[in-house]
Structure 1
């Protein structure tokens, strides 16, 4: 399991890692929100551990974004001393495993455990932004999700419809190309002009 640790300083982060010593996981450590955001862009972790005092360094807008369902991995707060860190981590892992391991829409599959997407028998790893975009649509399959809502959920900020539409258009194009989706044969991601995008099986009108 890949775990992102956000702590107020490197010493606190090391204390938390030491408390979890012996657990076979991979860790990425961040001591600022900017570092954490950069790490999330590179690779979406399975779990985020935050030392409680580090919350004071996060902007209120970012805190609100973290509360949005579906945008973030499981988030677990830790307190110094880390006496119960192992038990809390075990609980967080159980919660993480309780989420759906995959979404299947026709021949399109999204594997949330391995952070990958596949069409037919071909699997690809998408960049984090595109993976989150596809996953957001999959969680609301058959429903039109507005441009601005997708922008807020995936990128974490508000913008007008024109900005959101142009940004989404480019990333949807990249997803289709990466998955080798023929727009005529694989009508999974549908543009609903003037509103947003919808993910649906190609044979569903």
Structure 2
């Protein structure tokens, strides 16, 4: 009888996990039932850089940090995975910051669902619009609780746009 070694038990195997918290990693590790080494990354861009063999220290030091994105008094710092409201940090996940980043880059214009999936989830397909709407619903609640006067408007069947409540959004 020939037994094939499970890929999860291979000595060179490891898991790359995109997660917001250590709790997420621990839950995933329990699901895997393994002692695989786990490499935690904060977003898909970082995972891609690591998989391409790009040294993280060199790229961060050699690349100038882009200016923060601003919508009213909301400041989004993508490189730091942070968002600030009136200078105070907001408790947002990397995915929520990714949504804000993508919408802020469009500056009041509509970001299509396809653009959001590519930019935030790093995929060209496979993410249903219900996943996007669910993530946006959680983000809206957090922004509202923090008193942020920036809204996320749905454009039925097409996408989303960010709107500063003190100004009218651009017409599309």
TM class, shorter-length: 0.5 to 0.7
Matched, 1:170 2:137: no
Q: After TM superposition, which residue ranges in structure 1, 4 or more long, deviate above 4 angstroms?
A: none
Report the CA distance between 1:105 and its aligned residue: 0.9
Q: Matched residues in 1 for 2:57 and 2:110: separation?
A: 37
| CA deviation vs aligned residue, 1:11-58 (integer Å, no higher than 9, x gap) | 8xxxxxxxxxxxxxxxxxxx54xx22x2x2236xxxxxxxxxxxxxxx
| CA deviation vs aligned residue, 1:48-104 (integer Å, no higher than 9, x gap) | xxxxxxxxxxxxxxxxxxxxxx962482644xxxxxx9xx665412344x1314211
Structure 1 gap ranges (5+) = 1-8, 12-30, 44-69, 79-84
Correspondence for 2:144: 180
Correspondence for 1:42: 20
Alignment check: 8 A CA contact 2:140 2:151 kept: no
Aligned with 2:106: secondary structure? Answer: coil
Report the CA distance between 1:181 and its aligned residue: 6.0
Of 147, 155, 168, which residue of structure 2 is paired with 1:204? 168
Report the CA distance between 1:193 and its aligned residue: 1.7
Q: How does 1:137-148 map to 2 (within 5 A)?
A: 137-148=103-114
| CA deviation vs aligned residue, 1:117-169 (integer Å, no higher than 9, x gap) | 12234322312222222222222222211113312332225148xx31x2222
TM-score, normalization: structure 1?
0.52
Change in CA separation of 1:99 and 1:204 when aligned onto 2, cut-off 3 Å: farther
Q: State the Cα RMSD in Å.
A: 3.4
Q: Matched residues in 2 for 1:158 and 1:113: separation?
A: 25
Report the CA distance between 1:191 and its aligned residue: 1.2
TM-score, normalization: structure 2?
0.61
Aligned with 2:92: secondary structure? Answer: coil
